[in-house]
Structure 1
Amino acid sequence: MDEHPAGSRPDPPAPWPAGPDASLALNRMGSFDWDLDTGLLHLDPVALGIYDLAPEEYRSDPLQLGERMPPEERAAVDAHVSRAMKDGSSTYGYYFRVLPRDGADRWVHTQGHIHRDALGRPRRVIGILRDATDELAQAADRLALERERARRAEVVQGTAAALAHAVTVQDVTAVLSDPHGLGRLGAASLVLGVVENGRVRVLAEGREGSNVPELEWTRVEDDFPLSEVIRTRGPLFLTSAEEFAARYPRLWPYIRPLGATAAAYLPLVAQGRPIGGLGLLYHGKDSFPAEERDLLLALSSGIAQSLQRAMLFDQEHDLAKSLQTAMLPRSLPEVAGFTVAARYRSARTGRDIGGDWYDAVPLPGGRVGVMVGDVQGHDTHAAAVMGQLRIALRAYAAEGHSPATVMARASVFLCELDTDRFATCVYADVEAATGTVRLVRAGHLAPMLRHADGWCRQVPGPVGLPLGLSAQFGDLEYPVTCVELAAGETLLLCSDGLVERPGADLDEGMALLGRSVHEGPRDPEALADRLCEVMAEQTGGEDDMALLLLTRLEGAAGPARLLHQYVAPADPQALVAARHLIREAVHSWGVPERSDEVELVADELVTNALRHTDGGALLSLRLLAGGRPRLRIEVQDRSSALPRRIEPGWESTSGRGMLLVDRVADVWGVDPRGAGKCVWGEFLVARGTEG
């Protein structure tokens, strides 16, 4: 019985030191000698064995060897050897295939030395042949291994590079679930869930139509693979549809239509705390080698870090957005004769918070004050200063101060705050009846005026120092620019974040804004949306911005009907004259039916002002258009004491004035003014009086 197993029979002993023939034979290498003059090619037995030829079969004819080679290989070898002989080479080497009798491909490596005569002509080639099949197979395995390692490294690097640019949770889910992300991971579909208050919320699913609404929210305790990896903090690998169906029968009906044959569920752990889970579904896969599992775990660690960073950013963003929203007006007032539209857009970088704001303030006499401003900086401090400054401006405007005084007082207010920030602002006081606009700029962009035909232009005018700086430098003079806003025209106020782009000229942004306004829709709300969209595409949205549009309605047009009369104290004739002027004005304006009521209220208000204050009274009467036409009477004095409606006793001889005003006027009220107050009443009149 043979004591040696197959393939392990010992070689015959070789002399020491071994000669060349023994060395070649023991290493399965044969030799050849090719006489180019005679054309004979000698091969030793080992070389003949490589061609699967017996010594008695071989006729020393090179063409006989060619019969054991594929035609394309024979042509390639001939071309390679011929080139070496012609270009003066002394050696050559080449890999080619031969066809043994069993039909299997055998790779052979040949290496030859070309002997040349004194003239350089080739005369003889002496070389070796060896079986290189195992060598190339090992090389192919090494190459495949290197390629797989390179692919895995590329997966890690590509995913990490893509996640490096992800800022929000939405960015992270987009990186993972888009076709490129799935392609990098080699998966056919994906599910990403995060832990929120003890429940698992699915954020993304990587295949269109794979969304399952009833599984959007599940509990961590539920028998689902995502819940399991979150609970155990360990990965889960499923390698067959049968295994999936057996372990998770509740989930399998939703997975079956996806055609998945394998799945990997990975916990997402950041700072020792599970924050979610990632599931990858595969087609045509039935195993997860150890190296692939390690790769997926490494990927899940990087994904978890990116997801946690994005979740923290979203939390800060929500906090900043809430703070910004609290600082801005919750809604805009409805002002007769006007349509107001406003927008605020946070910056796309940083904490998405800044100092830009807008506001609209109803003012006495059918007027409205509108403003847009920008506090220096992009942080919570800028937003806090903005909130205080906006309220101060609103209060100064509501007190009835002129636009220049509103700005001056706001500048002093900002200077006295414990802050080093300054602010720019534009404030406009607009009257519905006449369309008169009185505006003031404190270091701010010029407003724009859109005419009824769509043509848009900037409103030129002088500009004062920014708020805070003017008080600091003692220059509180703010020049006022007056323009007229005709019916159907729109006044546009904005902060520089709408038009400014880093590295570009501001005039280019203003020109683009003008074209966008000209080409935009007539409706103020639609125009505001369009401007935000177009300008954000051009500027990149790197700065926050505020935008306000004020459109004077068509019904607000009409001739100005206004009466002013000063009534001096201790001058009875002045009060009598005021009564006559009121009666004549009301009749000339076409509303005689309410002249007695207006005259009575005016008489009571002026009398109260003269009796209870130290100065005179300024009486104003105007016919307000826009909406329901109405007569408005105002009496302004320099006292801050407010009138009260009382119920006098039957023996009282006074105290019935405000009671009469309350009963006769349709509506009345008191507005504070910068130096005193204004008591007013309004009377609705028929629409036929508008013309």
Structure 2
Amino acid sequence: MAERGASELSLPDDWPAHPDPILALNRIGSFDWDLVSGLFHMDAQAHEVFDLRPDEYDGRAESLSVRVPRPESTRLDALVAQAIKDGSENYGTYFRLRLRDGRLRWTHTQGYIRRDETGRPYRVIGIVRDATRELSEIESHRERAIRDEARRRQTDVVETATAALAHARTVDDVIEVLRDTNGLTRLGATSLVMGLVEAGRIRLVADGPDNSFVPGTRVTRIDEPYPMSEVVRTLGPRFIESPEEFAERYPVLWPHITHLDITSAAYLPLIAQARPVGAIGLLYSDRYGFSPEDRNVLVALGSSIAQSLQRAMLYEQEMDLAAGLQQAMLPRTIPSVPGCDVAVRYRAATIGGTLGRDIGGDWYDLIPLPGGRVGAVIGDVQGHDTHAAAVMGQLRIVLRAYAAEGHTPATVMARASVFLHELDTDRFATCLYAEADLTTGVVQVVRAGHIDPLVRDPDGTCRRVPVAGGLPLGLSAEFGRLDCPVSTLELDPGSTLVLCTDGLVEQPGTDLGDGVRALAATVASGPSDVRELADLLIREAEERGGEDDVALLLLRRRGLEAPRSHGRLQQHVAPGDPEALAEARHLIRAAVRAWGAGEHGDEIELVADELITNALMHTEGAAVLTLRFLTGADRRLRIEVEDSSSALPRRRDAGESGVSGRGLLLVETLADGWGVEARGGGKCVWSEFLVRGPRA
């Protein structure tokens, strides 16, 4: 109560007031408080209410603090001060006081404030009485309401935590739910610790707050004298209801946590399928003991946590297995191919924002081919599971095998579609196969339901290259539409071919075209080094998140080491047109002289004539002759003859008297190299001659 200094002023004539004897008969005490002198007079009945003998009280209000607890005294002081300030005539309230034996007694007081003619308060006359019986029923109802509210709050926490745990996919997710301020902390726990059972030991996976970790308890044996070890051994909960009990039962642990001011604790075994998977401890600093309802709620909570924890552990095991399978299916290393720089990246899908990762069927591959060519593959098998990863691995292997056998890009894609259709799976796959001739920069592209490639030019600009496409692999075989159109593009020295799966460009709520344009802008502004560019693209995909995995392949044709074309001459030769054939021969002789290859003039003209003649004789359409002069590590003259037939040329034994069959043998003998490439619906037969004379 408020303290007032004593005064030498005389007391009022009627002080102290004499209460009606009926008050004493009703066990009601009275007091007279002189605000000027600070004297606080109480009658005999008031002494009984405060459980004070007359010789124990000196007549000062502040001396009552021995019976009135500080929180109650502070509240009474504030109440009286407010009544005096507001000009009130009286006040009344219930408060608790502590009796001689330590028990708390509910007490009621009511005071009448007297003021002088100026309104200044100078005296308070009032009563005090024992209100224990009066409030017992009210308090009983209040306590029941408090218990019911606490029970409802605890039940809500269990329901909320259970609902949140239902969405937890990993152990980290479970821990995050438990640490959430809207989760278990509503139960009043000030510290939490959780461990998992692993090989006869308990490994600590969560503890908090930050200063609650006990050194030496990160990994403990199940037979050690710790509460979590005990609940794992016995499969029963342990409720510690006081600091003294904690110190007595666990003397090894207690000295390390005294700074947390722990008053009670609950340790629960986490049991799933009749075996312990871990244990959790909840430590409290503001409660003593646990009611039967509290124990039931906590045991139910422990059961929910155990089920979620086991589900998360099984999920992580499955993901580890699936991720291992997927990594085994992807190429372990990318071969080094002369004439180009390659970078590949893979990013697993992120399910539910930053919660956990999933796998998928995206893949990439790089296939070295004869004649300075290389095959680049990017694909995506439908689904995000181990089955998708398994199908992806098989599909990658057969694509590599078909390409290595020398089939044209269209044939490689058609055979892969038939393989997937006959694999007895309901999955389909999108795929893009690009076969690049690093010598000439010609790239043959076949697309099966996949997104178009991008090309970054040496000047930094990036563009989407529209490519004619067919149905996804598996579906094209099912519907009998195996013909895959082949598109041709040229990759200049220093240009980069960008192949990716749709996880890099698709975003929820946005158009695919917008994603492709955003990717092209990023590629254009990114570094020219393919490895740095690949890191940038994957980093942005990580920051953006997404529910699809990403495969990425970048192929940059080298500008310095790769041969460079210093001219291209082309002539169309129609069947039955002798003038066109004569013009082609004239073109060859002129190119040989202009490019300084005169010493090989006869051989070059003979081989070109043979290739043109074969095209006109064995196909139904025209032939297109192309001459290129290439420089780089060496100087070469290249002859290309295109026709509309996909039938590959083959060498035959002409015999001693045969007049035909020696054409390809002649080409192989005279040229320094030759080969066949698919070109759209036809093919290109090429040959090259090393030019050792003066530079053109």
Per the normalisation by structure 1, the TM-score is 0.62
Quote how far apart the aligned CAs of 1:474 are: 4.0
- Paired AA for residue 344 in structure 2: A
Where does residue 463 of structure 1 map in the other structure?
A: 468
- Paired AA for residue 204 in structure 1: V
Quote how far apart the aligned CAs of 1:273 are: 0.7
Q: Deviations for 1:351-377, whole angstroms, at most 9, x for unmatched residues?
A: 823332222111221111112122233
Where does residue 403 of structure 1 map in the other structure?
A: 409
Quote how far apart the aligned CAs of 1:312 are: 0.7
* Equivalent residues of 2:470, 2:485 under 8 A apart: no
Secondary structure at 2:376 match in 1: strand
Where does residue 517 of structure 2 map in the other structure?
A: 511
Secondary structure at 2:306 match in 1: helix
Where does residue 520 of structure 1 map in the other structure?
A: 526
Q: Deviations for 1:643-683, whole angstroms, at most 9, x for unmatched residues?
A: 9xxxxxxxxxxxxxxxxxxxxx999999999xxxx999999
Alpha-carbon distance between aligned partners in 2 of 1:322 and 1:338, rounded to the nearest angstrom: 30
Alpha-carbon distance between aligned partners in 2 of 1:286 and 1:109, rounded to the nearest angstrom: 28
Q: Deviations for 1:71-123, whole angstroms, at most 9, x for unmatched residues?
A: 9989987899999999xxxx99754799999xx998654799xxxxxxxxxxx
Quote how far apart the aligned CAs of 1:67 are: 12
> Given the alignment, which residue of 299, 305, 308 partners 1:306?
308
- Paired AA for residue 564 in structure 2: G
Alpha-carbon distance between aligned partners in 2 of 1:429 and 1:500, rounded to the nearest angstrom: 26
Alpha-carbon distance between aligned partners in 1 of 2:249 and 2:279, rounded to the nearest angstrom: 23
Quote how far apart the aligned CAs of 1:199 are: 3.6
Q: Deviations for 1:212-261, whole angstroms, at most 9, x for unmatched residues?
A: 9997666656676655543333456672399433x9xxxx9xx8599678
> Given the alignment, which residue of 501, 507, 510 partners 1:501?
507
Alpha-carbon distance between aligned partners in 1 of 2:96 and 2:469, rounded to the nearest angstrom: 89
Secondary structure at 1:440 match in 2: strand
- Paired AA for residue 558 in structure 2: L
Distance of aligned partners of 1:139 and 1:563 in 2 relative to their CA distance in 1, 3 Å threshold: same
- Paired AA for residue 347 in structure 2: R
Quote how far apart the aligned CAs of 1:592 are: 12
* Equivalent residues of 2:445, 2:467 under 8 A apart: no
- Paired AA for residue 301 in structure 1: S
Q: Deviations for 1:489-522, whole angstroms, at most 9, x for unmatched residues?
A: 2211111122212332222322332233234333
Where does residue 197 of structure 2 map in the other structure?
A: 194
Structure 2 residue 551 is the aligned partner of structure 1 residue 550: no
Unaligned runs of 5+ in 1: 1-19, 33-42, 55-63, 113-126, 565-581, 607-619, 644-664
* Equivalent residues of 1:200, 1:276 under 8 A apart: no
Where does residue 240 of structure 1 map in the other structure?
A: 247
Secondary structure at 2:393 match in 1: helix
Distance of aligned partners of 1:589 and 1:361 in 2 relative to their CA distance in 1, 3 Å threshold: farther
Where does residue 351 of structure 2 map in the other structure?
A: 349
Where does residue 273 of structure 1 map in the other structure?
A: 275
Quote how far apart the aligned CAs of 1:293 are: 6.4
User: What percentage of aligned pairs have identical amino acids?
Assistant: 50
Q: Deviations for 1:14-52, whole angstroms, at most 9, x for unmatched residues?
A: xxxxxx999966xxx6899xxxxxxxxxx9997897699
Matches within 5 A, 1:350-369: 352-369=358-375
* Equivalent residues of 1:448, 1:456 under 8 A apart: no
Alpha-carbon distance between aligned partners in 1 of 2:512 and 2:505, rounded to the nearest angstrom: 7
* Equivalent residues of 1:486, 1:557 under 8 A apart: no
Per the normalisation by structure 2, the TM-score is 0.62
Structure 2 residue 390 is the aligned partner of structure 1 residue 391: no
Alpha-carbon distance between aligned partners in 2 of 1:592 and 1:235, rounded to the nearest angstrom: 96
Distance of aligned partners of 1:556 and 1:206 in 2 relative to their CA distance in 1, 3 Å threshold: farther
Where does residue 289 of structure 1 map in the other structure?
A: 289
Matches within 5 A, 1:56-71: none
Paired positions, count:
601
* Equivalent residues of 2:191, 2:212 under 8 A apart: no
Secondary structure at 1:239 match in 2: helix
Alpha-carbon distance between aligned partners in 1 of 2:165 and 2:313, rounded to the nearest angstrom: 13
- Paired AA for residue 521 in structure 1: P
Distance of aligned partners of 1:212 and 1:561 in 2 relative to their CA distance in 1, 3 Å threshold: farther
* Equivalent residues of 1:177, 1:204 under 8 A apart: no
Q: Deviations for 1:571-624, whole angstroms, at most 9, x for unmatched residues?
A: xxxxxxxxxxx9x999999999999xx99xx9xxx9xxxxxxxxxxxxx99999
Alpha-carbon distance between aligned partners in 1 of 2:599 and 2:224, rounded to the nearest angstrom: 77
Alpha-carbon distance between aligned partners in 2 of 1:229 and 1:72, rounded to the nearest angstrom: 45
> Given the alignment, which residue of 319, 322, 325 partners 2:324?
322
Quote how far apart the aligned CAs of 1:337 are: 1.2
* Equivalent residues of 1:239, 1:287 under 8 A apart: no
Where does residue 491 of structure 1 map in the other structure?
A: 497
- Paired AA for residue 309 in structure 2: L
Where does residue 130 of structure 2 map in the other structure?
A: 131
* Equivalent residues of 1:487, 1:556 under 8 A apart: yes
Alpha-carbon distance between aligned partners in 1 of 2:62 and 2:341, rounded to the nearest angstrom: 95
Distance of aligned partners of 1:639 and 1:471 in 2 relative to their CA distance in 1, 3 Å threshold: closer
Where does residue 38 of structure 2 map in the other structure?
A: none
* Equivalent residues of 2:272, 2:306 under 8 A apart: yes
- Measured on the aligned residues, the alpha-carbon RMSD in Å equals 6.8
Quote how far apart the aligned CAs of 1:313 are: 0.4
Distance of aligned partners of 1:471 and 1:161 in 2 relative to their CA distance in 1, 3 Å threshold: closer
- Paired AA for residue 246 in structure 2: T
Alpha-carbon distance between aligned partners in 1 of 2:463 and 2:235, rounded to the nearest angstrom: 62
Alpha-carbon distance between aligned partners in 2 of 1:206 and 1:535, rounded to the nearest angstrom: 33
Distance of aligned partners of 1:629 and 1:380 in 2 relative to their CA distance in 1, 3 Å threshold: farther
Quote how far apart the aligned CAs of 1:625 are: 7.7
Distance of aligned partners of 1:306 and 1:632 in 2 relative to their CA distance in 1, 3 Å threshold: farther
Q: Deviations for 1:548-590, whole angstroms, at most 9, x for unmatched residues?
A: 11122232252279999xxxxxxxxxxxxxxxxx9x9999999
* Equivalent residues of 1:491, 1:549 under 8 A apart: yes
Secondary structure at 2:358 match in 1: coil
Distance of aligned partners of 1:457 and 1:298 in 2 relative to their CA distance in 1, 3 Å threshold: same
Matches within 5 A, 1:15-26: none
Q: Deviations for 1:157-195, whole angstroms, at most 9, x for unmatched residues?
A: 565455344211233345557899896773557352322
Alpha-carbon distance between aligned partners in 1 of 2:74 and 2:271, rounded to the nearest angstrom: 57
* Equivalent residues of 1:337, 1:626 under 8 A apart: no
